């Protein structure tokens, strides 16, 4: 993997860095996307965008929980990979490192990353449908109902038909507009509004570096494209 002198210089001098990660980073740990193509049934005859939808929460919340419980059980033994750990180490390298992820698996936090901006939520949390109180399910079973108001709990993730969590994207946009160096890692850059963050950074004058196994629709916008697995590419950038 050939790292340009320009990227190495900017990496050495940067103070404000934004990292956007997508499913490709977690795929290197063995996390499946669970997305079916076309009309592929992914759970008891239902496509991914049906069982993982806001409409399904209203219609059959127990079925939604059954699907997400299955996904959590599958991911319980999956560990972070070198890309997750390298990004976590960057926290000590840069005065301000902002990590925004489209992933809901919590692997960045497992690797040691702090204050992660979770654009699409976290599969290890439950959220009250009424008062929005949240409950960490990584350290025990979820309550039968909200302990604050008694209403129903749902997965604390962004489902099809829903907006991003209040304030989450706004914070990511603010950091994108103020960064000097932006890494886009393991994402096809097709899912908006998250895919707009590199565009914001570019407009503000940041140097954009894409790391992905193949070129994407974002590649032409980037100043540098590193084709390869994130776990292999990222550790070599700062050397």
Q: Report CA torsion sign: 190, 43, 110, 2.
A: negative
Q: Which position among 120, 154, 175, 229 bears the catalytic label?
A: 120
CA distance 172 to 118: 10
**Residue 120 annotated among the catalytic residues of the structure:** yes
Task: List the Cα angle 102/103/106 in 5-degree steps.
Answer: 135
Backbone angles phi, psi at 59, to 5 degrees: -85, -40
**Residue found by looking up tokens 């976290």 in the block:** 122
Name 125's Cβ contacts closer than 8 Å, sequence gap at least 6.
Answer: 134, 135, 136, 137, 155, 156
Backbone angles phi, psi at 99, to 5 degrees: -110, 115
Catalytic residue positions? 120
């Amino acid at each position: 993997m050939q790292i340009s002198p320009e990227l190495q210089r900017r990496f050495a001098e940067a103070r404000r860095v934004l990292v956007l990660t997508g499913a490709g980073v977690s795929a290197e740990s063995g996390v499946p996307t669970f997305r079916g193509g076309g009309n592929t049934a992914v759970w008891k005859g239902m496509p991914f965008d049906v069982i993982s939808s806001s409409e399904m929460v209203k219609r059959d919340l127990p079925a939604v929980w059954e699907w997400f419980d299955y996904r959590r059980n599958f991911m319980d033994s999956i560990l972070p990979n070198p890309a997750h750990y390298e990004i976590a180490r960057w926290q000590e390298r840069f005065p301000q490192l902002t990590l925004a992820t489209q992933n809901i698996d919590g692997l960045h936090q497992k690797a040691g990353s702090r204050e992660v901006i979770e654009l699409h939520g976290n599969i290890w949390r439950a959220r009250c449908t009424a008062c929005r109180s949240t409950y960490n399910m990584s350290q025990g079973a979820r309550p039968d109902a909200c302990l604050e108001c008694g209403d129903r709990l749902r997965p604390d993730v962004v489902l099809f038909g829903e907006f991003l969590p209040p304030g989450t994207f706004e914070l990511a946009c603010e950091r994108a507009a103020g960064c000097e160096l932006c890494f886009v890692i393991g994402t096809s850059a097709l899912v908006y509004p998250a895919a707009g963050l590199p565009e914001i950074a570019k407009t503000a004058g940041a140097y954009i570096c894409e790391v992905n196994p193949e070129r994407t629709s974002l590649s032409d916008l980037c100043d540098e494209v590193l084709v390869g697995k994130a776990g292999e590419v990222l550790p070599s950038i700062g050397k």
